[in-house]
Structure 1
Amino acid sequence: MIRLLLVDDQELFLEGLSMILESQDGIEVVGAARDGRQAIELTRELRPDVALMDIRMPVLDGVAATAAIRRESPEPPPHVIVLTTVRHDRAVVDALRAGASGFLLKDARPEFLVQSVRAVVDGQQVIAPAETFDLLRAFAPVRPAPDTSVLDGLTERERELFALAARGLSNAEIAQRLWVAETTVKTHMRAILAKLGVPSRVQLIALAYEHHLVEV
């Protein structure tokens, strides 16, 4: 059962989200918060697996709340998917840097919302690489030369997988490219994320772009 916390300051939107998600097998909405500070408190109390987090809220916004939840929650911290009404939103980039596992537009189809919740629990990214790159192009600083120092802890094989994952390839695509089993790729990817200290492949893509390790 996936335990879900909803965070938004709009009551009608919260009710709509709750109705959609509660109707799905294997998903339980355990709580709802109206601002970022309440989200932090409920996360400590309820220990959700995923928080659907609005970006712009009173008292404490979604970026600050995401950073606090990822930093302060007992292990393992919940995955955070941020919600926004604007595709090109600087706050989304800040939230990804703070540890969010992805973002969704508030007008996303209900079935895509449900798929995204399941995907993030399964360790998958919930935004397309093209959208990630588009955001980073607009807001992330571009370095004049590659900074490979962030990869110092990776083996040569792990660097090879890192480069492919940073371009947005899935585990299956990487396995096909390298002629290895998909389970082998999954094992390597878990090690790579742990060594880089990033919670998901979304942050891996952001790290690669910001350190000028991938061309898009």
Structure 2
Amino acid sequence: MGVIADFTVGAEDFDLGAPTEGGTELNIEVEPIVPASDQVFPYVWVTGEYESFEEGMEACEYAEHYEFVEQLGERRLYRITWNEGIHDLLACFVEANGTILRARGGNGWRFTVRFPDDASVSKFHGMCQERDIHLDLHRLTHVEEGADSAADEFGLTPEQREALMHAVKTGYFSIPRQSTLDDIAEQFDISNQAASERIRRATEKVLRQALVDQVDALVEHP
């Protein structure tokens, strides 16, 4: 059984081209990969003050080289080549066999990582403690092996994901609406009420995960 860990790391513990102090509009999103010894975080998407990111990379002792690849709208894609002394946090990912599902940063970093089992999570946590890397854990979710990674990331049950995907494909959320709860209920042979609950719960899970930073801020400072 795999484990999905959702946690935050401060900018002071992982300064990948991001400022350690507020005031700079910069967002970095890692292209998800399975870490390997020489291929940790090879691609990142940057939005905001590109100059700040490039200055940060120039000063980053762990980066051997970086290069601009392409620009899509306001986002720029960069490729990073790491030197042999990769960052302690990245080394922890590699040693604990963590698969990065999502990572985004700016003034601090938010990670969603899949580990093979509880022992791997414990190993990762222990390695971070040894390196004085502080983790603020938000959620641990156990998932069945072979389960869909997208469903894992958002914490959806197979039934919720199936219903939500069907709702999206058939235009339930379109304006004007192209399908109804009756259509969804008929598709899955469930009651209208069950269809409504399934869609609403699935939608809430996706929104909470997608907007997790904002939701946490609202909870802490209503």
TM-score range, shorter chain: under 0.3
**Greater Cα radius of gyration, structure 1 or 2:** 2
| TM-score, normalised via structure 1 length | 0.26
Structure having the higher strand fraction is 2
Higher relative contact order (CA 8 A, sep 6+): 2
> TM-score, normalising length from structure 2?
0.25
Greater fraction helix: 1
